[in-house]
Amino acid sequence: MNKIKNYEEFKKYQLECSASFDLTSSKTQNFMLYVGMATCGIAAGAKEVFDTLNSEIISKNIKNAKVTSTGCLGYCYAEPVIEVRSSTGISTFYAGVTPELAIKILDQHIIGGTPLEASILTRGDAL
Amino acid sequence: MKSIRIALRNCGVINPERIQDYIAKDGYLALSKVIFEMSPDKVIETIKKSGLRGRGGGGFPTGLKWEITRKSAGDEKYIICNADEGDPGAFMDRSILEGDPHSVLEAMAIAGYAIGANHGVIYVRAEYPLAVNRLKASIEQAESLGLLGNKILGSDFSFNISLSLGAGAFVCGEETSLISSIEGNRGEPNVKPPFPAEKGLWEKPTSINNVETFANVCPIILNGDQWFASIGTEKSKGTKVFALAGKINNVGLIEVPMGTTLREIIYEVGGGIQGGKAFKAAQTGGPSGGCIPAQFLDLPIDYDSLASIGSMMGSGGLIIMDEDNCMVDIAKFYLEFTVDESCGKCTPCRIGNKRLFEKLQRITRGDGTLHTLDSMKELGDIVKDCSLCGLGQTAPNPVLSTLRYFYDEYKAHVVDKRCPSGVCASLITYSVDQEKCTGCTVCARNCPVPCISGERKMPHLIDQARCIKCGVCFDKCRFDAIVKK
Cα separation of B148 and A101, whole Å?
Answer: 42
Binned at pLDDT 50, 70 and 90, residue A74 comes out as confident
Contact A42 B94 (CB under 8 A): no
CATH assignment of B239-322, among 3.40.50.980, 3.40.50.970, 3.10.20.600, 1.10.1740.10: 3.10.20.600
Answer whether B20 touches A (CB < 8 Å).
yes
pLDDT tops 60 at residue B1: no
Measured between beta carbons, the chain B residues lying within 8 angstroms of A68 are 15, 18
Binned at pLDDT 50, 70 and 90, residue A54 comes out as very high
Contact A21 B153 (CB under 8 A): no
B439-453: average pLDDT: 91
Q: Which of B32, B92, B93, B239 to mutate to test the interface with A (most CBs of A within 10 A)?
A: B32
Contact A38 B32 (CB under 8 A): no
Q: Which residue among B15, B36, B144 sits closest to A70, beta carbon to beta carbon?
A: B15
The domain ranges of chain B are: 19-229, 239-322, 343-414, 429-484
Average model confidence (pLDDT) across chain B: 93
Binned at pLDDT 50, 70 and 90, residue A127 comes out as very low
Answer whether B4 touches A (CB < 8 Å).
no
The domain ranges of chain A are: 23-125
ipTM of this complex prediction, to 2 decimal places: 0.90
Predicted TM-score (pTM) of the model is 0.91
Contact A74 B95 (CB under 8 A): yes
What local confidence, expressed as pLDDT, does residue A1 receive?
A: 67
Enumerate chain A positions whose Cβ falls within 8 A of a Cβ in B: 1, 3-7, 9-10, 13-14, 17-18, 20-22, 34, 36, 38-40, 42, 68-78, 83, 127
What local confidence, expressed as pLDDT, does residue A126 receive?
A: 52
pLDDT digits (tens, 9 = 90+) for A32-53: 999 999 998 999 999 999 999 9
What local confidence, expressed as pLDDT, does residue A125 receive?
A: 64
CATH homologous superfamily for A23-125?
Glutaredoxin (3.40.30.10)
Domain B429-484 = CATH 3.30.70.20: yes
Domain B343-414 = CATH 1.20.1440.230: yes
Contact B11 A73 (CB under 8 A): yes
Answer whether B91 touches A (CB < 8 Å).
yes
What local confidence, expressed as pLDDT, does residue A121 receive?
A: 85
Query: Is A7 in a helix, a strand, or coil?
Result: helix
CATH assignment of B19-229, among 1.10.1740.10, 3.40.50.11540, 3.40.1010.10, 3.90.1150.10: 3.40.50.11540
